[in-house]
């Protein structure tokens, strides 16, 4: 049903301020609000929120609680003083993690009008807007549409599956978004029942409680995902008993969990089919132009090949270069020979990169580089690397340049770190249509991978044996060659103490394993869009003094058309 013109105008005039120190959370909320027709401003801290409120008037403020420097409660107190001074009260909603469900009354007692739990549910956000901006005429058509979608997907599931009373199929559909993805997740869950049940029974018998609780925590996450709610609840109770060191209770309750868990295998075993893991080949190409690459050129090629680039080496002959003009988004020129030849080739490459919007890098001896830069289009030169070349930095920069010139057309690589093979398999199924997925079963395996390659993003579990997620992140960040790697925690842990401890490490994001598939993929897509824009902007600051005009232009393009 079309929205009346007066309602459209009211929504357009409605203004919401989103305050969160996590860019991905700001992006998701602002996208939801924009889709609903509501204007919004963004703030990354309490102080920035206060500055915006001093000059603007808002109909509603969504305020994160856990922020550095000034948390949500302190920010709220300053806002109340500002509202009193301006004689205009604005409703402030606490936007907090899942653990905030247990403290809703406390938040309201502190002065918040309401509480919106992360990750924000579109229907719940709409209800908030309905309650606190009543003139905007919000309804819940999306919820009805989602309900119809879920019911349609549910109807397409096999009839025999609908006869298993211990599975909440609708919950599984909601988590996985489609019947086919739900069946994939359920197949992975089924394939590991025998092995995981044996592990749980063995660790309980040996009283190896750290490993026992890791297996129980993993089972809880995957059981929740597939809608095995009773099993997930039993696992949750056992996890809590372990945290309280009630080991006698664990011995008493574990047989009940194993009976229910193993009882699902004969009911689901027809799902077990052999699947092929899909891999997507690299399509990233760098054009390396040189008379004779030599040892430096070979080193550069190896360094870039380790980053999954295809390095195409061509002679510095104009007609040869022109034949390969369209094959790469980044060009590297290693100048040599007489000065006129160097200027000629450098001028040609600069003009090509200007016309085709490519990155143009120079590598070589300082005296030859000076000649190559002595051209009219020298502002088209993206970066200059005199010998001796820092190959790690060059490879990192080339990845950045490629991102800025190729945008989202290339296939990004995501490294998923989790000790649970079932969850890794599910992540491969969920992500492989849009990303190249690499998996590591341990922190040590992940660090070994990062010594060789650089992914676009790391999805990191928290609870792992021998080296937990916090320790893995600390080791990644302490390595200068990996300190720019983006890291999002993807974990089932949402208890307050663990969440706060993780956030102290300043990850690039924090997502729960219980997120529905559609929301999870949407969060990643938006995260990459905002990260690309941020990288472009950072490339234009003092840390990259050579950044030319095209980087600023590309940043604007990404911000306007993410």
Residues 266 and 350 in one domain: no
Predicted local distance difference test score (pLDDT) of residue 281 = 38
Total structural domains within the chain:
4
Rg over CA atoms, the chain: 27
The CATH number linked to 242 is 1.20.120.160
**Residue 560 domain flag:** no
Residue 310 CA to residue 288 CA, distance in Å, equals 10
Predicted local distance difference test score (pLDDT) of residue 143 = 58
Predicted local distance difference test score (pLDDT) of residue 327 = 79
Q: What is the pTM of this model?
A: 0.46
**Residue 77 domain flag:** yes
**Residue 554 domain flag:** no
Neighbouring CB atoms inside 10 A of 163's CB total 9
**Residue 544 domain flag:** no
Residue 167 CA to residue 264 CA, distance in Å, equals 9
Predicted local distance difference test score (pLDDT) of residue 557 = 33
Structural element, H or E, at residue 56: none
The CATH number linked to 11 is 3.40.50.2300
Residues 213 and 296 in one domain: no
Residues 204 and 225 in one domain: yes
pLDDT in tens, the chain (562 residues): 344 444 445 455 788 999 988 877 787 788 788 877 888 899 999 999 999 999 998 989 999 887 877 888 889 999 988 988 888 888 999 988 765 666 676 677 778 888 888 777 777 788 788 888 877 665 545 556 677 677 778 888 888 898 899 999 998 888 887 888 888 889 888 988 988 999 999 999 999 998 999 889 889 888 988 999 999 999 999 999 998 999 999 999 999 999 999 999 999 988 875 443 333 334 578 899 998 767 777 888 888 888 888 888 888 888 888 878 777 878 999 998 899 999 999 988 988 887 777 888 999 899 999 999 988 777 778 888 898 888 888 888 888 777 665 544 457 889 999 988 888 888 988 888 888 899 998 888 888 888 877 788 899 988 888 888 888 988 888 887 766 778 888 887 766 677 777 777 778 778 888 778 888 888 887 777 665 545 444 443 333 333 332 333 333 333 333 3
Residues 469 and 449 in one domain: yes
Using DSSP, state whether 451 is helix, strand or coil: helix
Predicted local distance difference test score (pLDDT) of residue 53 = 92
Residue 350 CA to residue 257 CA, distance in Å, equals 67
Long-range contacts of 452-456 (CB under 8 A, 24+ apart): 452/306, 453/306, 453/307, 453/308, 453/413, 454/307, 454/395, 454/396, 454/399, 454/482, 454/485, 455/413, 455/414, 455/415, 455/485, 456/403, 456/412, 456/413, 456/414, 456/486, 456/528
| Domain interval for residue 308 | 284-406
10: closest CA among 130, 143, 120? 130
Residues 462 and 495 in one domain: yes
| Local structure of residue 23 (DSSP, 8 states) | H
| Local structure of residue 96 (DSSP, 8 states) | E
Residue 298 CA to residue 453 CA, distance in Å, equals 18
**Residue 376 domain flag:** yes
């Amino acid at each position: 049903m079309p929205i009346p013109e007066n309602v459209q105008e009211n929504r357009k005039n409605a203004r919401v301020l989103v305050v969160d120190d996590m860019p991905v959370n700001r992006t998701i909320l602002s996208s939801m609000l924009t889709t609903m027709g509501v204007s919004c401003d963004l703030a990354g801290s309490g102080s920035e929120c206060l500055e915006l409120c001093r000059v603007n008037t808002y109909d509603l403020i969504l305020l994160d609680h856990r922020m550095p420097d000034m948390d949500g409660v302190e920010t709220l107190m300053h806002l109340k003083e500002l509202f009193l001074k301006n004689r205009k009260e604005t409703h402030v909603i606490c936007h907090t993690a899942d653990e905030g469900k247990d403290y809703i009354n406390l938040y309201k007692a502190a002065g918040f009008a309401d509480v919106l739990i992360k990750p924000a549910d579109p229907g719940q956000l709409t209800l908030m807007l309905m309650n606190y901006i009543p003139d905007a005429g919000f309804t819940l058509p999306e919820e009805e549409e989602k309900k119809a979608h879920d019911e349609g997907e549910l109807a397409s599931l096999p009839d025999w599956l609908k006869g298993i009373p211990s599975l909440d199929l609708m919950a599984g559909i909601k988590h996985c978004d489609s019947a086919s993805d739900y069946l994939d997740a359920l197949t992975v869950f089924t394939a590991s029942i025998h092995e995981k049940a044996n592990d749980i029974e063995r660790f309980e018998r040996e009283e190896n409680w750290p490993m026992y609780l890791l297996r129980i925590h993993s089972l809880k996450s995957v059981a929740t995902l597939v809608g095995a709610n009773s099993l997930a609840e039993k696992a949750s109770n056992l996890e809590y008993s372990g945290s309280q060191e009630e080991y006698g209770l664990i011995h008493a309750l574990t047989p009940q969990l194993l009976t229910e868990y193993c009882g699902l295998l004969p009911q689901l075993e027809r799902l077990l089919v052999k699947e092929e893991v899909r891999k997507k080949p690299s399509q990233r190409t760098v054009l390396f132009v040189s008379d004779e690459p030599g040892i430096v050129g070979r080193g550069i090629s190896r360094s870039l090949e380790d980053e999954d680039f295809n390095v195409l080496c061509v002679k510095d002959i104009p007609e040869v270069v022109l034949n390969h003009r369209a094959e790469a988004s980044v060009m590297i020129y290693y100048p040599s020979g007489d000065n006129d030849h160097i200027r000629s080739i450098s001028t040609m490459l600069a003009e090509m990169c200007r016309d085709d919007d490519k990155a143009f890098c120079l590598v070589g001896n300082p005296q030859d580089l000076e000649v190559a830069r002595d051209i009219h289009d020298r502002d088209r030169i993206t970066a200059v690397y005199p010998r001796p070349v820092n190959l790690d930095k060059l490879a990192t920069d080339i990845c950045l340049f490629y991102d800025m010139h190729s945008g989202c057309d290339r296939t990004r690589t995501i490294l998923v770190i989790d000790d649970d093979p079932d969850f890794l398999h599910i992540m491969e199924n969920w992500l492989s249509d849009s990303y190249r997925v690499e998996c590591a079963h341990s922190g040590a395996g992940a660090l070994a991978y990062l010594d060789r390659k650089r992914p676009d993003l790391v999805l990191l579990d928290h609870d792992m044996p021998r080296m937990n997620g916090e320790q893995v992140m600390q080791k990644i960040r302490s390595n200068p060659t990996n300190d720019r790697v983006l890291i999002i925690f993807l974990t089932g842990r949402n208890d307050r103490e663990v969440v706060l401890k993780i956030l102290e490490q300043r990850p690039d994001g924090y997502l729960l394993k219980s997120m529905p598939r559609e929301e999870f993929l949407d969060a990643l897509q938006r995260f990459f869009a905002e990260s690309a824009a941020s990288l472009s902007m950072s490339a234009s600051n003092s840390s990259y003094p050579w950044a030319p005009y095209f980087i600023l232009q590309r940043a604007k393009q990404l911000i306007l058309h993410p």
